[in-house]
C-alpha cells in the first residue's frame, strides 16, 4: 500500500460491562477530530457490548472488518486505555502486518523500590516533581509484552514474541494469511444474530491455548503464536506511552526503563 492510498481502520473495543473509561472516551474524540485533516486515513468504530467471552468478541470484530472490503486494518483498543492520536500514526507509519504498543499492568510491584533503577531516580536531584513521579510509577509496574531473542529497538520498534491486543493494529493482509493457513478454524455455526456477509468471515483466530510444555496462553498471545507459526512477525512500538486506567492511572514508557539497545531508525 502506497502512502497516498486511503487506509480505513476499524477501531474495535470489547465492552464486557457496557462502559468505557473517561480516558478512552476523550482519546477517541481526540483521535476522530485529529484525523479529520488527514485525507488518507479514515475510521470506523464498533463496540461489542455485554459479551462475557472476550475471544468471541474479538473474532466477531475481525469478521465484521473482513466483510467490509474498504477496511484495511483492525485496531483493537480496550475500553480502559488512554492514548494520543499520534500513537495511532506511529503504528500506521511502521507498516507492519501486526504491531502493538505495550502498557503497564494495573498493579504496583513494591519490591521494585529496591532496584538500582529506582535508586538512581531518587538520587537524581535534577528531576522536577512531575518527572520524578512519572519515572517512579513507570518503574514500579510490569508491562504486557513477551520479548523474543532481540533486545534491539530501532526507532522504538522491536520484534517480539507476544503482545497484548489492548492496543494492537492488525492488517487485512495478515488476517487473509491466517484464513488461508487455517481453513479448519472457520466457524460453521456462527448464530443467527450476524449478517450473512459477516458469518462468511468468522474464524476462531482468538482463543485460549496451551503450549506443548503446558504453558497457558491468553487469546491475544495465542493469536500471536498462530501468526508466527506461519512465518509471520509481531512488532511493538516501545516509544508509545499508554495509560491503563483503573483505580488510578497506571502509566509508563518501556523505552525509558533501559535494558534495551536503542538503534536509530533506518
- Residue closest to 88 by CA, chosen among 8, 5, 173, 172: 8
Question: Domain residue spans in the chain?
Answer: 7-105+143-254, 108-141
Task: Give me the architecture of the 7-105+143-254 domain, per CATH.
Answer: Alpha-Beta Complex (3.90)
Strands, sheet with 249-252, edge to edge from the N-terminal-most edge strand: 81-82, 242-245, 249-252
pLDDT digits (tens, 9 = 90+) for 141-169: 988 888 888 767 788 899 999 999 999 99
* Predicted confidence (pLDDT) at residue 241 exceeds the cutoff of 80: yes
pLDDT value, residue 262:
46
Q: Do the beta carbons of residue 254 and residue 146 sit within 8 Å? A: no
Average pLDDT over residues 56-74: 97
pLDDT value, residue 117:
86
Residue indicated by cell numbers 519515572: 135
Distance CA 87, CA 144 (A): 17
* Predicted confidence (pLDDT) at residue 50 exceeds the cutoff of 50: yes
Distances from the Cα of 138 to the Cα of 101, 133, 257, angstroms: 15, 9, 8
pLDDT value, residue 146:
87
pLDDT digits (tens, 9 = 90+) for 166-194: 999 999 999 999 999 999 999 999 887 89
* Predicted confidence (pLDDT) at residue 4 exceeds the cutoff of 90: no
Average pLDDT over residues 189-210: 93
Amino acid at each position: 500500500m502506497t502512502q497516498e492510498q486511503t487506509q480505513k481502520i476499524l477501531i474495535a473495543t470489547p465492552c464486557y460491562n457496557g462502559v468505557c473509561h473517561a480516558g478512552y472516551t476523550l482519546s477517541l474524540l481526540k483521535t476522530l477530530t485529529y484525523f479529520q485533516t488527514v485525507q488518507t486515513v479514515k475510521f470506523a468504530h464498533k463496540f461489542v457490548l455485554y459479551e462475557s467471552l472476550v475471544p468471541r468478541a474479538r473474532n466477531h470484530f475481525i469478521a465484521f472488518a473482513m466483510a467490509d472490503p474498504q477496511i484495511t486494518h483492525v485496531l483493537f483498543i480496550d475500553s480502559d486505555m488512554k492514548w494520543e492520536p499520534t500513537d495511532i500514526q506511529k503504528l500506521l507509519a511502521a507498516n507492519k502486518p501486526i504491531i502493538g504498543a505495550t502498557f503497564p499492568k494495573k498493579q504496583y510491584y513494591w519490591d521494585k523500590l529496591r532496584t538500582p533503577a529506582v535508586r538512581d531516580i531518587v538520587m537524581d536531584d535534577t528531576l522536577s516533581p512531575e518527572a520524578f513521579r512519572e519515572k517512579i510509577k513507570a518503574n514500579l509496574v510490569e508491562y504486557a509484552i513477551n520479548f523474543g531473542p532481540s533486545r534491539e529497538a530501532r526507532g522504538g520498534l522491536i520484534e517480539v514474541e507476544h503482545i497484548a491486543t489492548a492496543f494492537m493494529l492488525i492488517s487485512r493482509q495478515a488476517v487473509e494469511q491466517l484464513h488461508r493457513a487455517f481453513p479448519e478454524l472457520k466457524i460453521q455455526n456462527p448464530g443467527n444474530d450476524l449478517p450473512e456477509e459477516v458469518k462468511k468471515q468468522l474464524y476462531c483466530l482468538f482463543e485460549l491455548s496451551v503450549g506443548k510444555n503446558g504453558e497457558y496462553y491468553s487469546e491475544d498471545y495465542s493469536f500471536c503464536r498462530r501468526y508466527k507459526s506461519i512465518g509471520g512477525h509481531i512488532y511493538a512500538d516501545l516509544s508509545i506511552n499508554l495509560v491503563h486506567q483503573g483505580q488510578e492511572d497506571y502509566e509508563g514508557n518501556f523505552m525509558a526503563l533501559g535494558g534495551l539497545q536503542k538503534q536509530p531508525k533506518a
